[in-house]
Each structure stands twice: as structure tokens, then as C-alpha cells.
Amino acid sequence: MSNQQKKKCFIIMPITTPSEKLAEYNNDVEHFIHVMEHLFIPAIEKAELEPMLPIASGTDVIQAEIIKKLETADLVLCDM
């Protein structure tokens, strides 16, 4: 998008692979991170949107951060 701010797409998805499900994902503890980095982010960027990642840092309250991103995103991609 030239001269315009890109619309934002908030990604809602698991971040960690639950230990009881590891065998289903070839013991890849970062399976969902790989899905986000190699599938979702490139697709969102190809659609000329700015990805909003489902990651909170520091002392952020994760629920508050999720609600804030839901309110401000133009589009939400949910993979549950």
C-alpha cells in the first residue's frame, strides 16, 4: 500500500505445543511458531496486511493485550 498505513491482521492461535500432543507434531515443540512464521505471516504480508502477532512480552497482561489487539485489528485470523 503506497502512502497509506497497512491494515492490520491479528493472529489468534496456540503458541506452544502441549506436551501431551507433542507426538502428534513429530515432537516439534515449536510447531505452532513454525506455522505462524512460514504460513500465516507470509500470507498476511502477501495480502498487503500487517501481521499482529499473538505474543505478549514483559509485564503485559496477556488477556488485556488480546482484547486490545482484537479491538484495533482490521482483520482477525483465528486458528484454534
pLDDT, tens digit, for every residue of 15-67?
A: 888 899 999 999 999 999 999 999 999 999 999 999 999 887 776 678 888 89
Length of the chain in terms of residues written: 80
Q: Where are the domains of the chain?
A: 7-78
The answer to whether the beta carbons of residues 45 and 8 sit under 8 Å apart is no
pTM beyond 0.85: the answer is no
